[in-house]
């Protein structure tokens, strides 16, 4: 955007939230689009979202966003008034708008080519112009023309819809004292909403006293008159059933079984939709049946439990939509007027949430980490104190305080960590849009089942996850799910299914992407691997299925001969793997040929504070993230064997390659004089990376500690094998090992044991080391 300089982060995050809520509404609409009836509240929410966005964008001078939301607002208005059909084409345009909004937002404040919105605006324009052609012409008869005259277009539309769907129409007459009118209206509307849809409420003409106001509320419902009457009995309201349907005699095509509906409890049959006739307004309003509140009380129990379905549905949608957006839940009931209601909503933010820049939380986290260091220093001071004679009492008191501080500190840490947590739903919603779009592009019908969207992860991890998950979803749509014909001939349902699941497992979160497609053909993968020279033909024969399947994570690997627009160009799974391991996560594949493929990503809940194992080797201290440590053992030198020049140990009948941290990093002891004598026993830290396990040889295990990871900055960020730095007790700054890179590096060495060569190698810089690290003065020869 060229206008308006740098957008405020406030605007960005608020606009983002609005667009996300808009997108959720669209997804819900898409899911309902084949149903006979749409939840009107979804369209209303979408309309309000865009309206709010328009106001916000105009305020911040984001021209293109304002323009687009303005056009979209008109289209959505047409949709909610029933002038435009909610169908695939109109939804396509709406979904495209979501993408465009996001592109526009991303482009804000950044130089570069402006996002082109002309095409989209034209398509929205076409949509808007169509309106009016297909106008439903249910005639509203039986209603007082004076009432009809004051209905807004939207209210009239809802009225027609109510009739079209064969619902009953009720007039609820209530009287309120002027003083308590707002409370009274809310109360009665809340009750009425459980029965159906409040279409409008109008001041009644026959006001009885000066200090009272009488209102007529129009209610569309499937419930019985008696049930509604008893529902609002406490509010002193009278309920009348109206019958606005035209007489069958004058309405060709009308199938209303009993237009008068007088004493029949059965509702008008569902076919009563579009009665197209123009039968005269012979029936005056409110003639059909009346039951006063007191009179209806006897029928209370019978019908009271039957709440109408639209109410329950819209409630569940609101649960989802209303969680973190700035839109208040609509259950409280607000006037759905065309202009007034929406304006009111956009000005009020009822959510009790605060938006915080992540960097502020980071600095809080840093402070907590430093406090932990201070606390560790206190502990060592306590030890010093104990060594002094005659200090036992003071020391005991000191220790008690220290313990309290320890507890409070971990509570504080826990609290800040929880603030950083966001539900995965944000990402999942984006993926749902991707599935929809890709499915249509590939002409495959795909159902996406999402579960565990409420699972929470650190905001940073969630952000980093969206790209890898996107790749995996693309793969599932393009490679996984077969074409409709292929599925049919394989005896599968024509509709493909992708399951997106998230759940917490201990202190880790597992995300699974599973499709019921064709599965991975491991023989074909093996052939491709041989053809690409990743393994020799001979070596490949020794590989197990799991090892072969792992080749899909090799850079540039694809079994496709031709690339499609979405995938098949061989970039993807290696990126996925790299991104996941950067988050100290692991990825596993499980596939059955012809049945489907399941990818499972396991991630730590947070990266801000981790538990680390502090080790020492060649006089240098390092931390290893505890979540990748399987166990630490002590091994006698006798137990080390060599296989083709590589040191290995046997652990529970499995052979484990050994890596010396000091050799990997070319470490020298700071002082050569104190050359450590060769110990007979060595410590081995067993670390695991997906299916691969490796033993890291170290000199000392110094213990475990919670550490705050600090980034190394631009210059040192890409040092292979180092994930960051952290401060440990004693105020020392130490490096945190990037276990996944080290393990991969070891496995990728050209002289690695057979079966592993060439796998997972990504870039030659990984091997570099310039000088004996940590040595003083000129370098020594090996």
Which parts of this chain interact with other proteins (CB under 8 A)?
Answer: 363, 366-367, 370, 620, 665-667, 710-722, 724-725, 727, 731-735, 764-765, 767-771, 773-774, 782
Neighbours of 424 (CB within 10 A): 24
Q: Which is nearer to other proteins, 212 or 717 (CB)?
A: 717
Minimum Å gap between C-beta 687 and other proteins is 18
Minimum Å gap between C-beta 580 and other proteins is 23
Closest CA to 224 of 279, 261, 270: 261
How far, rounded to the nearest angstrom, does the alpha carbon of residue 179 sit from its chain's CA centroid? 45
How far, rounded to the nearest angstrom, does the alpha carbon of residue 351 sit from its chain's CA centroid? 19
* Cα pseudo-dihedral 593, 594, 595, 596, rounded to 10: 70
Sign of CA dihedral 500, 503, 509, 510: negative
Name, in order, each residue with C-beta under 8 angstroms of 126's C-beta and a sequence gap of 6 or more.
none
Phi, psi angles (nearest 5°) of residue 288: -65, -70
Minimum Å gap between C-beta 382 and other proteins is 24
Q: Which is nearer to other proteins, 279 or 734 (CB)?
A: 734
Q: Which is nearer to other proteins, 35 or 715 (CB)?
A: 715
Q: Which is nearer to other proteins, 244 or 724 (CB)?
A: 724
Q: Which is nearer to other proteins, 38 or 709 (CB)?
A: 709
Minimum Å gap between C-beta 719 and other proteins is 5
Residue 219 and residue 197 in contact, taking contact as beta carbons nearer than 8 Å = yes
Q: Which is nearer to other proteins, 8 or 779 (CB)?
A: 779
Residue 267 and residue 278 in contact, taking contact as beta carbons nearer than 8 Å = no
Q: Which is nearer to other proteins, 585 or 625 (CB)?
A: 625
Q: Which is nearer to other proteins, 676 or 714 (CB)?
A: 714
Minimum Å gap between C-beta 644 and other proteins is 16
Checking DSSP bridges between strand 289-291 and strand 238-242, what pairing results, if any? antiparallel
List Cα–Cα distances, 450 to 373, 428, 728, in angstroms: 42, 8, 41
List Cα–Cα distances, 572 to 319, 458, 496, 566, 577, in angstroms: 35, 24, 22, 11, 9
Neighbours of 265 (CB within 10 A): 9
Residue 43 and residue 83 in contact, taking contact as beta carbons nearer than 8 Å = no
DSSP conformation letters of 364-391? HHHHHHHHHHHHHHHHHHHHHHHHSTT-
List Cα–Cα distances, 663 to 27, 620, 642, 696, in angstroms: 54, 12, 16, 11
The whole-angstrom separation of Cα 422 and Cα 121 is: 34
Minimum Å gap between C-beta 376 and other proteins is 15
Minimum Å gap between C-beta 380 and other proteins is 18
Phi, psi angles (nearest 5°) of residue 337: -75, 165
Residue 173 and residue 293 in contact, taking contact as beta carbons nearer than 8 Å = no
Minimum Å gap between C-beta 704 and other proteins is 20
The whole-angstrom separation of Cα 690 and Cα 607 is: 18
Sign of CA dihedral 641, 647, 650, 651: positive
* Cα pseudo-dihedral 718, 720, 723, 727, rounded to 10: -100
Q: Which is nearer to other proteins, 513 or 728 (CB)?
A: 728
Minimum Å gap between C-beta 370 and other proteins is 6
Q: Which is nearer to other proteins, 584 or 741 (CB)?
A: 741
Q: Which is nearer to other proteins, 556 or 731 (CB)?
A: 731
DSSP conformation letters of 457-509? EEHHHHHHHHHHHHHHHHHIIIIISPPHHHHHHTT--SSEEEEEEEEEETTEE
Minimum Å gap between C-beta 770 and other proteins is 3
Tokens matching residue 376: 């560790």
Q: Which is nearer to other proteins, 303 or 738 (CB)?
A: 738
Minimum Å gap between C-beta 363 and other proteins is 8
The whole-angstrom separation of Cα 197 and Cα 212 is: 25
Checking DSSP bridges between strand 446-451 and strand 496-505, what pairing results, if any? parallel
Q: Which is nearer to other proteins, 543 or 608 (CB)?
A: 608
DSSP conformation letters of 669-692? -S-GGGPPP--SEEEEEEEEETTE
Tokens matching residue 660: 């010396």
Q: Which is nearer to other proteins, 388 or 769 (CB)?
A: 769
DSSP annotation of 269 reads P
Minimum Å gap between C-beta 733 and other proteins is 4
Q: Which is nearer to other proteins, 285 or 722 (CB)?
A: 722
Minimum Å gap between C-beta 662 and other proteins is 10
Q: Which is nearer to other proteins, 4 or 619 (CB)?
A: 619
Sign of CA dihedral 431, 433, 438, 443: positive
Give the 3-state secondary structure of residue 567. Answer: coil
Closest CA to 774 of 623, 669, 617, 676: 669
Minimum Å gap between C-beta 689 and other proteins is 19
Q: Which is nearer to other proteins, 293 or 667 (CB)?
A: 667
Residue 328 and residue 265 in contact, taking contact as beta carbons nearer than 8 Å = no
Tokens matching residue 405: 């501080």
Helix ranges (DSSP H) in 87-197: 88-107, 118-130, 145-150, 153-164, 181-193
Helix ranges (DSSP H) in 324-357: 340-347
Neighbours of 255 (CB within 10 A): 14
Maximum distance among all Cα pairs of the chain, rounded to whole angstroms: 112
Q: Which is nearer to other proteins, 118 or 782 (CB)?
A: 782
């Amino acid at each position: 955007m060229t206008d308006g300089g740098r957008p405020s982060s406030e605007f960005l995050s608020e606009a983002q939230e609005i667009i996300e809520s808009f997108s959720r509404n669209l997804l819900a609409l898409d899911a309902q689009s084949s149903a006979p009836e749409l939840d009107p509240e979804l369209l209303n929410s979408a309309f309000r979202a865009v309206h709010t966005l328009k106001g916000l964008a105009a305020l911040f001078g984001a021209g293109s966003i304002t323009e687009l939301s303005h056009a979209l607002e008109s289209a959505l208005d047409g949709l909610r008034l029933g002038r435009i059909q909610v169908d695939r084409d109109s939804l396509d345009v709406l979904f495209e708008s979501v993408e465009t909004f996001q592109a526009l937002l991303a482009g804000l404040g950044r130089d570069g080519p402006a996002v082109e919105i002309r095409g989209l605006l034209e398509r929205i324009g076409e949509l808007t112009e169509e309106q009016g052609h297909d106008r439903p012409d249910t005639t509203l008869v039986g209603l007082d023309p004076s009432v009809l005259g004051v209905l807004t277009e939207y209210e009239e539309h809802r009225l027609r819809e109510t009739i079209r769907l064969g619902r009953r129409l009720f007039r609820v007459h209530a009287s309120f004292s002027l003083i308590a009118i707002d409370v009274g209206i809310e109360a009665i509307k809340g009750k009425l909403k459980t029965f159906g849809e409040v279409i409008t409420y109008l001041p009644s003409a026959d006001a009885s006293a000066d200090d009272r106001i009488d209102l007529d509320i129009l209610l569309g419902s499937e419930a019985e008159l008696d049930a509604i009457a008893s529902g609002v009995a406490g509010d002193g309201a009278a309920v009348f059933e109206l019958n606005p349907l035209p007489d069958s005699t004058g309405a060709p095509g009308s199938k209303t079984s009993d237009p008068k509906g007088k004493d029949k409890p059965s509702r008008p049959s569902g076919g009563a939709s579009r009665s197209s006739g123009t039968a005269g307004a012979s029936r005056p309003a409110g003639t059909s049946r009346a039951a006063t509140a007191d009179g209806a009380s006897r029928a209370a129990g019978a019908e009271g439990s039957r709440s109408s379905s639209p109410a329950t549905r819209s409630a569940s949608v609101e649960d989802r939509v209303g969680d973190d957006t700035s839109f208040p839940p609509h259950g409280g009931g607000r006037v759905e007027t065309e202009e007034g209601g929406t304006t009111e909503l956009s000005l009020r933010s009822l959510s009790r949430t605060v938006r915080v820049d992540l960097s502020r939380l980071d600095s809080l986290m840093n402070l907590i980490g430093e406090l932990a260091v201070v606390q560790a220093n206190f502990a060592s001071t306590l030890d010093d104190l104990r060594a002094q004679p005659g200090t036992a009492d003071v020391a005991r008191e000191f220790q008690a305080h220290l313990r309290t501080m320890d507890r409070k500190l971990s509570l504080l840490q826990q609290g800040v960590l929880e603030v950083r947590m966001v539900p995965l739903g944000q990402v999942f919603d984006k993926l749902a849009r991707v599935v929809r779009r890709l499915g249509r592009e590939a002409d495959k019908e795909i159902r996406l089942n999402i579960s565990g969207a409420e699972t929470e992860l650190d905001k940073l991890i969630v952000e980093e996850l969206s790209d890898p998950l996107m790749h995996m979803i693309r793969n599932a749509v393009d490679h996984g799910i077969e074409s409709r014909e292929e599925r049919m001939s394989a005896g599968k349902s024509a509709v493909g299914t992708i399951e997106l699941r998230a759940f917490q497992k201990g202190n880790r979160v597992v995300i699974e992407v599973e499709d019921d497609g064709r599965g991975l053909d491991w023989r074909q993968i093996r052939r491709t691997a041989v053809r690409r020279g990743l393994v020799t033909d001979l070596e490949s024969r020794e590989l197990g299925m799991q090892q072969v399947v792992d080749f899909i994570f090799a850079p540039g690997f694809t079994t496709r001969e031709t690339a499609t627009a979405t995938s098949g160009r061989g970039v993807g799974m290696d990126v996925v793997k790299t991104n996941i391991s950067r988050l100290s996560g692991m990825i596993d594949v499980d596939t059955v040929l012809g049945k489907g493929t399941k990818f499972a990503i396991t991630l730590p809940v947070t990266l801000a504070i981790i538990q680390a194992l502090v080790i020492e080797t060649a006089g240098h201290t390092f931390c290893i993230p505890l979540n990748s440590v399987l166990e630490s053992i002590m091994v006698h030198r006798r137990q080390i064997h060599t296989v083709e020049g590589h040191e290995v140990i046997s652990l529970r009948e499995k052979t484990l390659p050994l890596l010396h941290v000091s050799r990997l990093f070319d470490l020298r002891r700071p002082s050569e004089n104190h050359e450590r004598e060769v110990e007979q026993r060595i410590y081995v830290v067993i670390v695991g990376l997906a299916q691969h396990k490796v033993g890291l040889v170290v000199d000392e295990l110094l213990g475990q500690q919670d550490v705050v990871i600090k980034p190394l900055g631009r210059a040192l960020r890409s040092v292979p094998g180092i994930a960051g730095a952290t401060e440990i007790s004693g105020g020392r700054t130490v490096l945190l090992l990037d276990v996944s890179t080290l393990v991969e590096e070891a496995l990728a060495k050209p002289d690695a044991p057979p079966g592993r060569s060439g796998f997972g190698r990504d870039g030659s810089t990984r091997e570099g080391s310039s000088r004996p690290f940590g040595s003083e003065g000129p370098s020594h020869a090996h």
